[in-house]
Amino acid sequence: MPNRDKRAACSGDLPDALGALGAPALQADSLTVLRADRLVLDGVSFTLAAGGALLLVGPNGAGKSTLLRALAGLCPLAAGTLFWQGENALRDPPAHAARIGFLGHADALKPGLTLRENLRLAAILSGRPVDPVLDAFDLAPLADLPARLLSAGQKRRTALARVLLGAAPLWLLDEPSLGLDAAAIDRLGAVLAAHRAQGGMVIATTHVTLPLPGAETLVLGA
């Protein structure tokens, strides 16, 4: 069972676009989620300011992925409210989707498309160029390979590149370092730090140490 009313307040610079200084950009208030009629999350609360990071930890089945999906609006809340800058975040699903970069367990790449083609839709939607994002994850030499030929770590890096390309302020990452080697984890750390330095926020599930200095931790299933 997750901790009740566990709060994690994260600090960081708060740009005008994300609200008044000191105010939480994201606030989860007593979130409760059922899956197949079973109580998985019971009154989970936390706040996150611009530039902040929150690690979701706990044993298998504790509800970490479920919480990420609930925060993304992909899993209905049985009770509780998610606020974005003081407003009910889930009242306007398209607006909420636009503020989220989501990385699930599955990398969700089209196997027959090249790595670059897999990133094209995100690039069109955000208006951002693909090449700097390829460089950030050392993917340029692989850009014209079909995704089906990529290794597990290369696929993970591509999925992370798509999150970066989306330019959303709130990143929800399910075990982002899964399959990454040490160099790729260093690159991930640099990308996360740059995102937070611009006022972006990160919520990540993990079973291992992630390169997110100063992140708060929310323990589920304790």
Ligand X SMILES: Nc1ncnc2c1ncn2[C@@H]1O[C@H](COP(=O)(O)OP(=O)(O)OP(=O)(O)O)[C@@H](O)[C@H]1O
In the complex, the residues that contact ligand X under the rule CB under 6 A are 35-36, 40, 58, 60-66, 205
Q: Which of 35, 101, 68, 48 has its CA nearest to residue 175?
A: 68
* Nearest residue (CB) to ligand X, 6 versus 35: 35
* Nearest residue (CB) to ligand X, 16 versus 37: 37
CB of 16 to ligand X, least distance (A): 35
Enter the DSSP assignment of 91: G
C-alpha span between 208 and 25 (Å, rounded): 27
User: 130-151 as b/e, with b when 16 or more CB fall inside 10 Å?
Assistant: beebbebbebbebbeeebeebe
DSSP for 190-206, please give it. Answer: HHHHHHHHTT-EEEEE-
Cβ-contact 179, 208 below 8 angstroms = no
* Nearest residue (CB) to ligand X, 146 versus 221: 221
CB of 60 to ligand X, least distance (A): 3
C-alpha span between 175 and 136 (Å, rounded): 19
Number of helices followed by number of strands (H, E) in the chain:
6, 9
CB of 61 to ligand X, least distance (A): 4
Q: Which of 46, 54, 52 has its CA nearest to residue 81?
A: 46
CB of 67 to ligand X, least distance (A): 7
CB of 74 to ligand X, least distance (A): 11
Which amino acid is located at 91 in the chain?
R
CA dihedral in degrees (151, 68, 33, 94; nearest 10)?
-110
* Nearest residue (CB) to ligand X, 12 versus 58: 58
Q: Are strands 53-57 and 38-48 parallel, antiparallel or unpaired?
A: unpaired
CB of 12 to ligand X, least distance (A): 26
Per-residue tokens: 145: 């390979």
* Nearest residue (CB) to ligand X, 60 versus 209: 60
* Nearest residue (CB) to ligand X, 44 versus 89: 44
* Nearest residue (CB) to ligand X, 66 versus 118: 66
CB of 95 to ligand X, least distance (A): 25
